Structure 1
Amino acid sequence: MKAFVAVATWGSFAEAARRLRISPSAVTRSVAQLEDRLGLTLLSRTTRSVRLTERGQIYLESSRRILEDLETGERQARARTPSQGASCMSPPRSSSVGCTSCRWSGACWPTTRPRRAPEPV
């Protein structure tokens, strides 16, 4: 998908390859595999130019949104920014077992405060 978007954006397999830092044949293979998987022709190719087909234009719009969302998710994950609503319950203080997901993700915080038992009268 990334190779397809690059070719559509820069209008050339060679330029897409240069910008993605991969070989032109890898870009060609990637786009061909995508078209085979979809059963569609996304790009109209001649020896001198590359143009989007009508279906290619539709797919390009969706692909750009998907890749943008993916980049945002990766940036947030690297920043260890927890998603809204995601939390991990802390184990009791006496427990020798910690919260497994907290240990590996670093994105854990208590969601409840411990209550004290009422003082005996």
Structure 2
Amino acid sequence: MDELQTGETPNFLKMKPHELPDEYTLTLKKPITFGKDPNVEHHVELQLREPTMDEIDAFTKNVRKKGEIEALKFFIAAVTDVPFVIIGKLGARDMMVAQGYLLAFIQGSQTTGDTSDE
């Protein structure tokens, strides 16, 4: 897991399920500031974790009901315990990294192991 500490973003979607880290700290390229004095919150990183089956189920249902971006915001909020309204302030590049990490678990769950060219 040392390679995840180097500052280079790993390509989670190319990892095999057993290679995915249980948790990943995403250092935000664009820190998030939310609220007004004296209740300002500053977020410089997000602590992502492996999603539960219920969270994956809710995500897939939300994609159909609310669309991909809205569903992704709820999904990221669920696995980080950061409020939905704050996740909405996440920069696009940071969103792409979080999305790659979370979708790698879904992609891995759909892999059958069949590598034939049919």
> Shared topology, TM-score over 0.5?
no
| Structure label with greater radius of gyration | 1
TM-score (norm 1): 0.25
Name the structure where strand makes up a greater proportion of residues: 2
Q: Which has the higher relative contact order, 1 or 2, with Cα contacts under 8 A spaced 6 or more apart? A: 2
